[in-house]
Structure 1
């Protein structure tokens, strides 16, 4: 799934993108500085990181929408931040819940109640509702009415035979809360950057050891985050135990090497 930065058909006119970034200075990326100090964080010992990966189970992650720039739609400006974070937290909760046995005749259905989603993600009922609406509007999720017990059948779009899918590792007992999602509250813009960066990293795929090189330029284009925000997001993800930074060449600030760890 290493398609990060590949040009896709149907993208907006580059001139429009430049105009938009002129109107929104926070979207501008700093010029490359080959001498910039690379991302340096305390690395998790390799045996410990590999043990963590062995604890995880693989969940299918629809990847085409991420490679097509779909993460740009989740914005951090006023009126959108909480809904955007709630949507991505709900999306991750659905991804890791796919292994639940679907009802007869409904392959691919994920049956979850608001109570279960709240336990997994830390979202309140209003935020679950707002996040669900955002995902449905963007065609990332479909739902099928409320069932007995207050459950709703969800389906992730983009998991057909011809669709591109990656895998996201999840660790922890079934039904247990996901500490990382509980820690990413819906009121802070850096939390949105962390969620977008984590989804992008997983959509890129990794080698058998979970290692993925991140092209920060391409990531900035696909997420509409600045370089500074992406590097801050990586630091936040490491603090949550979701990624580990690996030794990189002295001038590799634009392409840090990371090991993906299970969502827990």
Structure 2
């Protein structure tokens, strides 16, 4: 996709404050909440990192997500109500500004590698907005973006903490993870547990962010890449 970067900055202070819990599968709002997170992803992909202004239209969002215009409108209403986006209408044209853009408090969100054929987000094309698992998967994905460690390139987080930050019950986390893994959005690494020397814990890695940095990467390889001046999403 011409002009789009490999990754973009996503404001994450609201995620770390538990904001994902507001996206619930109840009161008939499940579909709109899924649409909201889908729209948020597209808006972030088109946001100027300095101003927060997003150069995006309904047509762009429709192509990227496969959402109807009615569902896009519902999703944008959710984002605006939660204060994650500002919307202005000027001369029959809407402009969007992502809240929280700044030099700190952001996570690296994959962008260009997620698109197929230049305009469509592959991961979202099979979403029908009728399954809670779709909402839960998006919530986990945004959480992993926010909690990704710079040193490990993965989110080292327990099921208890996932539930605490997202509101997704433990019994529903596995199915949400399976959806992410199946679509290549997350890799699960198993690492020695810090609690039990005989146990293992899971780390969740975003494959499109610094793919060379994983459990098997040496410190020297990381140093060489840094010295080479590669654009690294710390």
Same fold (TM over 0.5): yes
Contact 2:10/2:106 (CA < 8 Å) preserved in 1? Answer: yes
Contact 1:112/1:151 (CA < 8 Å) preserved in 2? Answer: no
Alpha carbons of 1:175 and 1:153: their partners in 2 closer, same or farther (altered >3 Å)?
Answer: farther
CA–CA distance in structure 1, aligned partners of residues 199 and 135 of structure 2: 28
CA–CA distance in structure 1, aligned partners of residues 191 and 208 of structure 2: 22
Q: Which residue number corresponds to residue 138 of structure 2?
A: 195
Runs of 5+ unmatched residues, structure 1: 1-55
Q: Which residue number corresponds to residue 51 of structure 1?
A: none
TM-score of the superposition, structure 1-length normalised?
Answer: 0.68
Say if 2:47 is the partner of 1:98. Answer: yes
Answer 1 or 2: higher relative contact order, Cα 8 Å, separation at least 6. Answer: 1
Q: CA deviation at 1:261?
A: 2.2
CA–CA distance in structure 2, aligned partners of residues 175 and 195 of structure 1: 22
Mean CA deviation greater in 62-71 or 171-180: 171-180
TM-score of the superposition, structure 2-length normalised?
Answer: 0.77
Runs of 5+ unmatched residues, structure 2: 193-197, 210-234
Alpha carbons of 1:166 and 1:218: their partners in 2 closer, same or farther (altered >3 Å)?
Answer: same
Q: Which residue number corresponds to residue 108 of structure 1?
A: 52
Q: Which residue number corresponds to residue 109 of structure 2?
A: 168
* SS, match of residue 89 in structure 2: strand
Contact 2:86/2:96 (CA < 8 Å) preserved in 1? Answer: yes
Alpha carbons of 1:198 and 1:70: their partners in 2 closer, same or farther (altered >3 Å)?
Answer: same
Deviations 1:171-205 (A, max 9, x none): 14795100112223211110000000000000112
* SS, match of residue 112 in structure 1: coil
CA–CA distance in structure 2, aligned partners of residues 197 and 153 of structure 1: 28
Q: Which residue number corresponds to residue 94 of structure 2?
A: 152
Deviations 1:95-116 (A, max 9, x none): 112259x9xxxx3311222111
Within 5 Å, which residues of 2 pair with 1:23-34? none
